[in-house]
Chain A
């Protein structure tokens, strides 16, 4: 049990490697913006298994993922299910009608 916890700790340390996160972020910018913006990605708070499924789904639809590992670590580090939810931004007023 203890070594399992230790392994988890080691993994989370590896996940926090800034170089990997940078690579993951670059990967998102490269592979995830052809069909939609990144906001739809960033509003999610998902577990590792859920992110795995999302990446498989998006790859199936044509997302040209090359560095899946780095992308996954980056998504988990920023948009994992343990991360706080950010309030949604509000757009500027662009209504044509007077109220």
Chain B
């Protein structure tokens, strides 16, 4: 790995603008070494070599924040449920803890994961592959909260706000989620992540878990749910996180009316090992490893190719097979397999073929 100092030296003194201003060492309490997209607020990418366990530990989980991180006091924190309800609620953390708990394993992926690979470049965090992780979330069913609040028949959306606020005229981070998703039994208000109270950086004391949907829906530090017949008109729902309805020519402009909300995530797979461009010993057995995620669906199959795509072989999948959660895949070349080509290329296919699996990535290893 390139050390930062070395990198600075390569660029020379003329480009000292590389760093932030007057910042100390990059250290994020509770986190292993992470790839730093930004330090204030923290946007941290998980290095792919941590993708070797089905559960991504909290200390390795990626972080994405839009606005400066709020400091929430558990005692005075409240969750308000209002709008089109017959029984508006103001709940304390203890109130939520008294409701029937549910556990949901689910993968969280930022909609912008992989943006670093776009050509031409687009503005936004330059995630490579590590804006994704899988955790076991524990909390309260949204459907139970809606029942308790007496959600009205006319309510079509829950509009969610968190304790974070924009600076100056920055818009507040508000997201709208349609009723059909809120009523799903796996949609919860989570208080725990992998058996521990939600870490501050992941939304303490409560965040939404919206399985299969993009990270922007998983509102952190959630304080308000407003039921309405209309979605938010705010920037972070009405403008940002919109994607073209069709595949545009890369770099071309898309009209606002041709943009829609993302909702369920696309099928993806990411190689964790070997690292693209790394060296392998001639004749050594081949081991491919990575993760595959299919949004609201299950990953039924991952195939890899070691000959540039003409032949596809099933990779071995981790045993947990749930909707909303990724699966790890491994492929070890059969015994006696020789990596004999000067260039070896593997492609990942993920998801069910029936869903029209598409090649998503290739790694090259020099032997």
Q: Which residues does A use to contact B, with CB under 8 Å? A: 25, 28-29, 33-40, 42-47, 50, 53-54, 60-63, 74, 78, 81, 85-97, 99
Residues of A contacting B2 in the complex (Cβ-Cβ under 8 angstroms): 87
- Check A61–B170 contact: CB distance below 8 A: yes
Write the chain A residue with the least CB distance to B167.
A35
Write the chain B residue with the least CB distance to A45.
B121
Where chain B touches its partner, the secondary structure class is: loop
Residues of B contacting A74 in the complex (Cβ-Cβ under 8 angstroms): 17
* Known A36-B38, A61-B170, A95-B59; 11 more pairs at CB < 8 Å: A25-B17, A40-B37, A40-B125, A45-B121, A50-B122, A63-B168, A91-B31, A91-B44, A92-B26, A94-B32, A97-B57
Residues of B contacting A28 in the complex (Cβ-Cβ under 8 angstroms): 17
Q: Which residues does B use to contact A, with CB under 8 Å? A: 1-2, 4, 7, 11, 15, 17-21, 23, 25-41, 43-45, 47, 57, 59, 67-68, 116, 120-123, 125-126, 166-171
Cα-based distance from A50 to B67 in the complex (angstroms): 22
Cα-based distance from A86 to B68 in the complex (angstroms): 25
Residue in B30, B120, B121, B166 whose CB lies within 8 Å of A95: B30
Give the number of A-B contacts (CB < 8 Å).
130
Beyond A78-B17, A81-B120, is A95–B32 a contact (Cβ under 8 Å)? Answer: yes
- Check B168–A61 contact: CB distance below 8 A: yes
Residues of A contacting B31 in the complex (Cβ-Cβ under 8 angstroms): 91, 94-95
Write the chain A residue with the least CB distance to B26.
A91
Q: Shortest CB–CB separation between residue B239 and chain A, in angstroms?
A: 10
Q: Shortest CB–CB separation between residue A35 and chain B, in angstroms?
A: 4
